[in-house]
Each structure stands twice: as structure tokens, then as C-alpha cells.
Amino acid sequence: MRPNVGAWYSSFVVRHVVTSVPHRYLREPVPIFFPSSEEMPETRRHFGLRTALFQILELAFADRATLGSEQFVYWDPTDPRACCAPDVMLRLGEPDELFDSWKTWEWGAPHLAIEIVSASDHDRGPWEEKLERYGRMGVQELVRFDADDSVTPLRIWDRAEFALVERDRTLPDFMRCRTLDAYFCVREDEKLGLMLRLARDAEGSDLFPTPAEARSAADEARLAAEARIRELEAELARRARDESR
């Protein structure tokens, strides 16, 4: 387990619960089915925003966090209806691994959950219900991003005691991601429009890259290194010619 540097809480790992015990019971335990998927419509734009953000976080934090996107998170071992499927979720403490669904009583609650507003979330009722579910889930930091709201696209909740409390957007550190010790920022994407990004600095100038941006930066660095090698080789050849005269 890697230390959780810079986090605002103590990270811990919840091990799998041992269910096989050498006891006799008056009745056989009845297994409860927890679905791992459900067909839900999604616009291309929502898919693009969700996937881009997941890939950014995966590239930056997969070595020390487990990530999910649209997987069910269950928090009540007696009720499979008590669930939510965050657009992006993250729990620090262990390197990323695949999972079909997430059960908080086995692995702990996500530290960070992000919801990208879809058409069904614009009405107050459905969002309030979803917010209540996140509260019961036990998530520590909840982000709601509305790509259609150019004035206030971002709302953030932090867990205080046993409740999620909305953050005051007038505070200087409103955009800080406490879970990752980084900063949220909103950028304009040529294809997707407003897009939620993550940066290392409060000004949002040092962005965590998308996989495509990371590959482009690596290619530029390689080309620059190759050009420098050619320059040095040419300089050595010139010196060799001068010395041979």
C-alpha cells in the first residue's frame, strides 16, 4: 500500500469480508443478487465528457487509486436497490484493478465521486434524490458538473460529520480537490464544449493530461531529443574535421 501523500484524511484499505465460517445455522442463508450493470441511455457528448475525465484520472492516479465509471456502488448489504452509479469514482489506497460492482461494506466508500449532469438531472427532484443517495453511500467529496451551465458549471459537496455539505463557491479554494490535492478547472473543448479538467495548480495552467495529450507531449520530447542528438553529432563531426586539418 502506498502512502496517501497530501490527502486530508487517513486512507485505509478494507479487506474482503470472510463469509465462510464454521458454524451451523437454523436456516440456510439466502443469497442476495446485486446487479453489475443496467442499460441506460447516454448521449455522445455525455459519454465523451465522462470518458475523457475517467482517462485523465486513470492516467494520473491508477498507481495508487481504484477508479470506476458507471459501475454500481452498493452501500446496504441487505438491499440491492440502495445503489448509485457515479460517472466517475475514485478510492485512494491501492493500485487500480477491475471490478464489476462496488460494495462499500467490503471495500469502503469512494473518496471522490463525480456526476456529469445529464438531461434527467436538470430537474431539482431527481438530483436531490441522487444527492441523498451519495450521502448514504458515504462518499467524502462529491462534484456535480453541468456542461450546459456557463455561469456556475460546478458544485461541490464535502462530508462534514455524517452529512454532505455544499461548498461555498465564493471561497478562494472552492476549486480545490481535497481528495487528490489538486484543482478542478473548466476548459472549452473544440468538440465537447465545456469540459471538466484537473490541474496541479490553482490557476489551472498545469493540467493533468489526457492520454492523447500525454502521447503528444512524449512525441514532442522524443523529437526534441533526437534533434539535439543530431546537433551534437554534427558538432562532433565538425570538431573532428577541424582537428584533422
pLDDT of residue 39: 62
How many domains are contained in the chain? 2
The closest alpha carbon to 87, from 147, 33, 34, 136, belongs to 147
Q: Quick one: 221 and 166 in the same domain? A: no
Quote helix, strand, coil % in the chain, to nearest 5.
Answer: 30, 20, 50
56: cell is 485523465
- Domain match, 86 and 103 both: yes
Whether residue 203 lies inside any domain: the answer is: yes
What are the b/e assignments for 192-231, b being 16+ CB within 10 Å?
bebbbbbbeeeebeebbbbeeeeeeeeeeeeeeeeeeeee
- The domain containing residue 220 runs over which residues? 209-245
Q: Is residue 16 part of a domain?
A: no
Query: Do 224 and 110 have their domain in common?
Result: no
- pLDDT at position 4 is 44
Instruction: Examine residue 165 and state whether it is found in any structural domain, yes or no.
Output: yes
199 and 223 in a single domain? The answer is no
Contact 146, 100 (CB under 8 A): no
C-alpha neighbours within 13 Å on the C-beta side of residue 180: 30
Count CB atoms within 10 A of the CB of residue 49. Answer: 23
On whether both 155 and 233 belong to a single domain, the answer is: no
In this structure, the strands spanning 141-145 and 112-116 are parallel
The arrangement of strands across the sheet holding 182-189 comes to 176-177, 182-189, 193-199
Grid coordinates given for 209: 493530461
Note whether 200 and 238 are same-domain residues.
no
Q: Are strands 65-68 and 73-74 parallel, antiparallel or unpaired?
A: unpaired
Q: Are residues 139 and 215 in the same domain?
A: no
Spatial separation of the C-alpha atoms in residues 152 and 147, rounded to whole Å: 9
Chain centroid, CA 178 distance in Å: 12
**Domain co-membership, 103 together with 217:** no
- Same domain as 91, residue 200: yes
Counting every residue written for the chain, the total comes to: 245
Same domain, 168 and 51: yes
Residue 215: its pLDDT value, please?
86
CA-based Rg of the chain, rounded to a whole angstrom?
Answer: 23
pLDDT by residue for the chain (245 residues), tens only, comes to 344 444 444 444 444 444 555 677 777 776 776 666 666 678 999 999 999 999 999 999 999 999 999 999 999 999 999 999 999 999 999 999 999 999 999 999 999 999 999 876 655 568 889 999 999 999 999 999 999 999 999 999 999 988 999 999 999 999 999 999 999 999 999 999 999 999 999 999 999 999 988 887 777 778 888 888 888 887 787 877 777 77
Q: Is residue 199 part of a domain?
A: yes
For residue 146, give the CATH number of its domain: 3.90.1570
- Does some domain include residue 37? no
Contact 36, 100 (CB under 8 A): yes
Q: Is residue 220 part of a domain?
A: yes
Smallest CA-to-CA distance from 32 within 19, 21, 15 is with 19
Determine, yes or no, domain membership for 10: no
pLDDT on residue 232: 81
Overall pTM surpassing 0.75 (yes/no): yes
115 and 188 both lie in a single domain: yes
- Would you say residue 75 lies in a domain? yes
Same domain, 156 and 222: no
Looking at the DSSP assignment, which residues form a beta bridge with residue 196? 186
> Hey, what amino acid is at 215?
R
